[in-house]
Amino acid sequence: MDITEFDHHSPIPGTTIFDGKMAMKGYALNKMCYSFNAAEARAAYLADPEGYMETFGLNDEQKQACRDKNVLALIAAGGNIYYLAKFAGIFRLDVQDIGAQQTGMTKEEFKEKLRKAGD
């Protein structure tokens, strides 16, 4: 069976199931983001992002998504949110910043959406 032709997960709108297919697609990107647990790796990325991405063998789609700090594009390129959070952390972006970016809201609008979930 060709694994790329087999869909284990029926879609949920606005949600990417990070399964084996995505894990294979995003491996280099996620491995780079995992390295950002270490302060020296974060400094190395900031000093030379292109060289650092090259070291981990990111593809063009992944590199451009990193340059743009575009979370939806990073996810589409195989990024896993737990590792991407470490990438976002380099730029001091928290989960409301990236939530706002992904939903096209301001941070204040996004926080209000969260608050309203309690009503």
Nearer to another protein, 20 or 57 (CB): 20
The CA distances from residue 24 to 79, 104, 110, in Å, are 10, 28, 31
Segment 56-85, which members bind another protein (CB under 8 A)? 71-72, 75, 80-85
CA distance 79 to 71: 9
CB of 113 to another protein, least distance (A): 5
Beta partners for 15? Answer: 12
Q: Which residues contact 69 (CB under 8 A, 6 or more apart)?
A: 88, 91, 93
Residues 6+ apart with CB under 8 A from 68: none
Number of residues counted as binding another protein (CB under 8 A): 49
Among 37, 43, 51, 67, binds another protein (CB under 8 A): 37
Which parts of this chain interact with another protein (CB under 8 A)? Answer: 8-10, 12-20, 23, 27, 30-31, 33-34, 36-39, 42, 71-72, 75, 80-86, 88-90, 94-96, 98-99, 102-103, 110, 113-115, 117-118
